Structures are given as structure tokens and as C-alpha cells.
Amino acid sequence: MSSCLAELEEMANEISCSRSDCMDSTGLSVTTTRENMLMQSNPRFVARGMVLGLALVMAQSAQALSLTRGTPTTLTGTLGNVEVNYVSDNPTLTGYLGPSGIVTGVNIPETRVQYDLLNMAGNGSILNYTVDYSPGTNVLGAMEATGYYDSAGVEHSWNGAAYTTLFDKGYGTYNYNQALFGSLWTIDYQPDHVTWSTSGNNFPADAASGETNFGFNPTFSLDFAQGTLLGLQAANVTGLLVTGGPSSSTGMVLSAVPIPGAAWLFGSGLIGLICLARRKAA
């Protein structure tokens, strides 16, 4: 790949040096882009550039997948290695998926944790992905990814709408996305965990969901009540080997821990003392 880049650079230099109008009367470079110089030059350079560009794209596709954002954690077990990258933010939920379809026009503040998954195992598909959290945590809903990239960088669809499934019926299994939009995943919401499930070889080895070096798919995410304190909790990946035997992987990823009431009281008291000290200083 480096040789292709070097040749493209050499072509651009060759073109710029072959044109007399690349310098003005003061000796400063004029504002002619390389793209314009390529198009205005001999067609053979354009053809060479197209061939080299195609070679670069093919070389990129041949690379192994890697997750590119968040904090990586590798889950290990009999299933093999599964890399999880997690990242959190505090957006406002403006639409969600309910039993009758997509609902928009809402404004629900939330704390969201997104999970990108890379199945590094060579021995089978991931069937279930579980995130555990402290019992009683207020979970508003969850989103499943709508596709993945295989090891060659080719995108495959899991179908479904890229909206959070709202947990409007309490604990239990939610299949709104599957029933309405053909998603291959279901979501199970329980007091201390959420599990995304699929069956068959829908998440093959060496495949990745979420943001990778090939692009972005809406990823797996949990939506908590805004202000939920984030911490490290257990997470699990379970599945079946190609030969049909049960297997599992466990590890630690980012999840949620409710903030104790005493912490809120301590925090508000501390803020009051700081404000009082500032007034005295003024």
C-alpha cells in the first residue's frame, strides 16, 4: 500500500512540475488543486491514478477489522475472543420504537452506553450478548445494531430500524424491531441485565458491528435515565460452537450503577459550601 501512495505522490509531483502555470510571477504556488491538475494533464496519468486508487481500496478491504472508538475490553472463554469497545454520552432521545412502530416528537434526556462488538473467534457465531447492571437501575430501552462488516470489509444487513426499543411493558422479551422491520435480534430486559439474542450464523467469526475502520452501523446500546453513574460491571457473550456444543465468554465492560441517595445529598451539600466560600471571597 505504501508503494501505491508513493507512486500517486510521484505522479502529482510530475504533473505539477510539467505545468508552467504552477508558479506565478512572484514564485508562489497558485491555488490549483491536484485534482484539477490531474484532469487537465495527459490522460495516461488519470488512468494510472484510477488503477492505483482501486488497488488502495482493495488493499484496505483485505485488512483485518478493528474497532476504532471507545474503551476496548476483550471477553475470553470457550467461545473464543470477543472484543467490545464501549463509549458513553448524554443525548436526548427524540424518537423510539414501540409496539405499533416508530414514535417521534419526544424529548427524553438519557445516559447512553454504546457497545461495538468484534467477534475474533474462529469457531462459531455469537448468539447472545448480555450486559449486567445493579438491580433496580432505571433502563429506558435498548438498540440493536442493524448490520455488521465481515473480515473483507463487506457490509451485511441484520435489517431493522435504527431506533431505540422503549421498554414500555416492563421486564420481558421485546421483538418490536423483529416484528415490524425484520430485525434478526430480540432484546430481553430483566431487573439486572439486558440480553440481545440472535440465532444461526448471523454474527459470523471475524465480523464486527458498530464503528470499525470500514464505516459505521448503528450499534448495540443501552439507554438509562440521565445522570446514572457509570461503572464497570460484568458482561457475558454466549453462543454455540460450529460443532453444536454450548460455549460462553465473560468479561468486564461499561455498564451502569445507580447513584446512592447519600451521594446526591453529599454532592448538593458540597456544591452549597463551594458557593458560600466564593461569596465570602467576593
Give the per-residue pLDDT at 221: 93
Domain membership flag for residue 271: no
Domain membership flag for residue 240: yes
CB of 94 closer than 8 Å to CB of 263:
no
Domain membership flag for residue 222: yes
Domain match, 149 and 245 both = yes
Q: Please state the domain count of the chain.
A: 2
Ordered per-residue pLDDT tens for the chain, 282 residues: 445 445 545 554 444 444 334 333 333 333 333 444 444 445 554 445 544 444 443 344 334 678 888 888 888 777 778 888 888 889 999 999 999 999 999 999 999 998 888 888 766 677 888 888 888 888 999 999 999 898 888 889 999 999 999 999 999 999 999 999 999 999 999 999 999 998 877 888 888 988 777 777 788 999 999 988 888 777 888 876 655 566 677 777 777 765 554 444 455 565 665 666 666 666
Residue 265 buriedness (CB in 10 A; 0-12 / 13-18 / 19+): exposed
Domain match, 47 and 75 both = no
CB of 154 closer than 8 Å to CB of 95:
no
Contact residues for 271 (Cβ-Cβ < 8 A; gap 6+) = none
Give bridge partners of residue 115 from the DSSP assignment: 86, 220
What are the start-end ranges of the E strands in the chain?
Answer: 71-77, 82-89, 92-98, 101-119, 124-132, 139-143, 147-149, 155-157, 165-166, 172-174, 186-190, 193-197, 207-208, 220-225, 229-241, 246-257
Domain membership flag for residue 233: yes
Domain membership flag for residue 247: yes
Domain membership flag for residue 133: yes
Domain membership flag for residue 144: yes
CB of 206 closer than 8 Å to CB of 119:
yes
For residue 170 the three cell numbers come to 416492563
Domain match, 142 and 32 both = no
Domain match, 8 and 86 both = no
Domain membership flag for residue 282: no
Domain match, 47 and 114 both = no
Domain match, 75 and 132 both = yes
Q: 36 lies in which domain range?
A: 2-61
CA count, 13 A, side-chain hemisphere, 164:
25
Domain match, 95 and 149 both = yes
User: How far is Cα 248 from Cα 239, in angstroms, rounded to an integer?
Assistant: 6
Domain match, 121 and 191 both = yes
Give the per-residue pLDDT at 275: 62
